[in-house]
Amino acid sequence: MSMPSRLPEPYGNNGGANLADILERVLDKGVVIAGDIRINLLDIELLTVKLRLVVVSVDKAKEMGIDWWEDDPALSTRARRDELARENAELRARLQALEEPS
């Protein structure tokens, strides 16, 4: 005799939803977690931390207009290549300015 699941339907053993189904639903619909932490001392604000967490698939994020990773050189080879090309052009311009006769 098996023990009944403590999880509510549809997440219990007999509900038919497994972890992959749940993850697919979360990534398809999205989850937003937001919160602020403030530290005050004698009514003087010392620190404020704003937390924003969005859990979605890449496709859903793009639908929402979120695509910051595409321009981050640490996360995108295209962005890194563009950054290196800009740095190279700047260095060439500086070198040319130094080599020009006064």
Per-residue pLDDT tens for 6-50? 655 555 555 556 888 888 888 888 888 889 999 999 988 899 999
| Dist CA 63 CA 57 (whole Å) | 10
Closest CA to 30 of 10, 58, 50, 9: 58
Q: Could you tell me the residue ranges of all domains in the chain?
A: 1-55, 67-102
What is the pLDDT confidence band of residue 79, given thresholds at 50, 70 and 90? confident
pTM: 0.43
